[in-house]
Amino acid sequence: MKKVLVLGAGTMGSGIAQVVAQAGFSVVLCDVEDRFVQRGVFLIEKNLARQVEKGKITAADKEAILGRIKTTTNMADGADVDLVIEAVIENLELKTNVFRELDRTIRKEAILASNTSALSISALAAATSRPEKVIGMHFFNPAPVMQLVEVVKGSATSEETFATIKAMVEKLGKTAVAVNEAPGFIVNRMLVPMINEAAYILMEGVASAEDIDTAMKLGANHPIGPLALADMIGIDVCLAVMETLYAEFSDAKYRPCPLLRKLVRAGYLGRKTGKGFYTY
Ligand SMILES: CC(=O)CC(=O)SCCNC(=O)CCNC(=O)[C@H](O)C(C)(C)COP(=O)(O)OP(=O)(O)OC[C@H]1O[C@@H](n2cnc3c(N)ncnc32)[C@H](O)[C@@H]1OP(=O)(O)O
Ligand SMILES: NC(=O)C1=CN([C@@H]2O[C@H](COP(=O)(O)OP(=O)(O)OC[C@H]3O[C@@H](n4cnc5c(N)ncnc54)[C@H](O)[C@@H]3O)[C@@H](O)[C@H]2O)C=CC1
């Protein structure tokens, strides 16, 4: 494993590209428009500059890490990679099309991994001619900080692919947990319904956003409250996860809170748009 294509340079793609380049691998970072790629690189530069200020890495390390990241808007520039980590928006139709295109474009030996939050790896695999090489590689936000990667096996994922990705996660300095595909995997099946319930508590007027978050910080020792976390994740991503859980399990306990839908329709997606439950 030497070279990795990270597809999507948003919140997660940029963080994942940083982690992979920081571990010494060459990265091709691709998004649909150059301004999105440049925004991703800007975030990486900012994070690395903070590490230099704190004395965790040297200025030379920063330059070397940035030097390992090539940017592009053409997926074919990553045709010779060993691994693809897909981090485009959480939409099954879009991701399925992306996997079909990746399968056509990227060399046959490469593993195709998805950072999806909740969608079916088997469905993505079925869009390719190499389902045994398709796997979930689910990082957590912020990717440079969070220790966990859920490694998700779809119906056709081979043991060889799983072992390669588990070893890769360790090379990235992270901890892998093995998951047999199921909607929302482990963390999001519990975490996002908690966020959804916090949105209901707010919508029902039970408490203010600030008090809901203070309650979970001081009453349950969470590092940040659920609504601040939703703003960090992206309210669109939270809603997409709830929609998947609700549709896949056909169980009313996963009903998405209408307030999430209202915020998403207004474009109040959280930190990435400057406004969500809070204003930034
Ligand atoms: C939706 C999905 O599919 C899955 C998901 O990701 S669900 C979301 C999972 N993530 C969480 O639950 C995060 C919960 N929150 C936290 O753990 C913490 O609030 C946090 C780590 C994000 C920030 O920690 P904090 O103590 O509140 O703030 P702060 O002191 O500023 O940051 C701690 C460290 O993280 C770094 N950091 C914070 N935000 C960062 C970011 N966006 N990118 C990179 N580094 C970041 C800081 O630089 C700091 O680093 P040092 O320890 O080297 O100084
Ligand atoms: N935000 C979070 O906390 C987490 C999100 N995820 C998952 O990671 C994926 C990405 O999420 P975010 O980074 O939050 O989204 P985002 O909205 O910040 O970024 C998505 C990026 O993908 C790009 N994109 C769209 N179509 C593309 C294509 N065909 N080719 C290349 N790039 C394309 C967009 O232009 C955008 O820059 C989603 O599947 C999400 O569920 C996983 C873990 C945590």
Probe ligand 2: pick from 73, 77, 88, max atoms within 8 Å of CB? 88
Average pLDDT of the residues in 64-82: 98
Residue-number span of the structural domain to which 175 is assigned: 3-180
The reply to whether 278 falls in a domain is no
For residues 111-121, give the mean pLDDT.
98
Work out the pLDDT band at 88, boundaries 50, 70, 90: very high
Domain of residue 192, CATH code: 1.10.1040.10
Are 10 and 103 contained in the same domain? yes
Q: What is the complex's ipTM, to 2 decimals? A: 0.97
Domain boundary among 149, 180, 211: 180
**For residue 129, what are the CA distances in angstroms to 116, 133, 183, 231?**
20, 9, 23, 37
> CA torsion, points 82, 38, 237, 112, in degrees to nearest 10?
-10
Q: What are the CA-CA distances from residue 162 to residues 67, 71, 167, 173 (Å)?
A: 29, 28, 9, 17
Q: Name the token pair of 116.
A: 């999806």
Catalytic site residue from 138, 181, 196, 243: 138
What are the angstrom distances between the C-alpha of 250 and each of 91, 98, 131, 209? 18, 27, 27, 29
Find the residues whose C-beta lies inside 6 A of ligand 1.
47, 50, 54, 117, 140-142, 144-146, 188, 191, 223-224, 229, 233, 237
Which pLDDT does position 92 carry in this prediction? Answer: 97
pLDDT of 256 reads 98
Whether 12 lines ligand 2, by a CB cut-off of 6 Å, is yes
Quick one: 139 and 58 in the same domain?
Answer: yes
Does residue 149 share a domain with residue 41?
yes
Would 279 be classed as within a structural domain?
Answer: no
- 183 confidence band (pLDDT: 50, 70, 90): very high
Q: Is the peptide bond before 258 cis (omega within 30 degrees of 0)?
A: no
What is the predicted pLDDT for the residue at 219?
A: 98
pLDDT of residue 138: 98
**Catalytic annotation on 138?**
yes
Residues in a beta bridge with 148: 175
Does the active-site annotation cover 117? yes
Write the pLDDT tens digit of every residue in 216-273.
999 999 999 999 999 999 999 999 999 999 999 999 999 999 999 999 999 999 999 9
The closest residue, in CA terms, to atom 21 on ligand 1 is 145
Query: Do 227 and 202 meet the contact criterion of CB atoms below 8 Å apart?
Result: yes
Query: Which residues is 136 bridged to in the sheet?
Result: 114, 152
Q: Answer left, alpha or beta for residue 136, where phi above 0 means left and psi between -120 and 50 means alpha.
A: beta
Strand ranges, E, within the chain: 3-7, 26-30, 69-72, 83-86, 111-114, 134-139, 148-153, 175-180
Q: Which amino acid is at 183?
A: P
pLDDT for the residue 174:
98
pLDDT tens digits along 127-179: 999 999 999 999 999 999 999 999 999 999 999 999 999 999 999 999 999 99
176: three-class secondary structure by DSSP:
strand
Confidence grade of residue 28 (pLDDT, cut at 50, 70, 90): very high
- pTM for the whole structure: 0.98
- Classified as helix, coil or strand, 26 is strand
- Say which CATH number the domain at 25 has: 3.40.50.720
pLDDT at 226: 98
Burial pattern 177-190, b for ≥16 Cβ within 10 A else e, equals eebebebbbebbbe
How many domains are there within the chain? 2
Does residue 168 share a domain with residue 116?
Answer: yes
**Is 221 assigned a ligand-binding role in the annotation?**
no
Domain stop point among 132, 162, 180 = 180
